[in-house]
Structure 1
Amino acid sequence: MKTLSLNIPDGLDIGPSELAIFVASRLYENGKLSLGQAAEMAGLTKRTFIELLGRYNVSVFNYPASDLAKDVANA
């Protein structure tokens, strides 16, 4: 896993673990990471990560509408 250093403004009241969860949730939401990868990046279990996704308005069901339409057509 790669390591990244960021300069965070002093006025931003966010800790390293909260920032990791935020970034992981956005990467999961955009389909860049799987649920397991995002949970690992955030330093959490899958279950805990799933529970926290709601705080960031990210659905655990990260399934593109186009795939859903294909599945319905194939059913």
Structure 2
Amino acid sequence: MKTVQIELPDAVLLSLKETPEECSRELRMAAAAKLYELGKLSSGRAAELAGLSRISFLQALGRYGVFAFDLTTEELERDMRNA
């Protein structure tokens, strides 16, 4: 597994009222949701990025305004190929 570091201003953490660990989890989930929405990751891979089971990831998508199954046939086929 690779590690990616992101520098955040202290003011961002204060504004979010989150610990660095909470912020890290939130950023991972937000990135996973967006990459899934863009079709760059399958739901399984996005769930891995978010650190969740696939079911939990799909259930959490609504918090980010992403529809779990609002896919065309082509998108669903691509998602299955990328799994």
User: Which of these residues, 18, 30, 40, is aligned with residue 48 of structure 2?
Assistant: 40
Counterpart of 2:58, as a letter, is I
Instruction: Give the 4+ runs in structure 1 shifted more than 6 A.
Output: none
| Structure of higher CA gyration radius | 1
Aligned-residue identity in percent:
43
Q: CA RMSD in A?
A: 2.0
Q: How does 1:13-52 map to 2 (within 5 A)?
A: 13=16, 15-52=23-60
Cα-to-partner distance string for 1:15-61 (whole Å, 9 max, x where unaligned): 10111000000000000000000000110001111111000000102
Gaps of 5+ in 2: 76-83
TM-score (norm 2): 0.70
Counterpart of 1:42, as a letter, is A
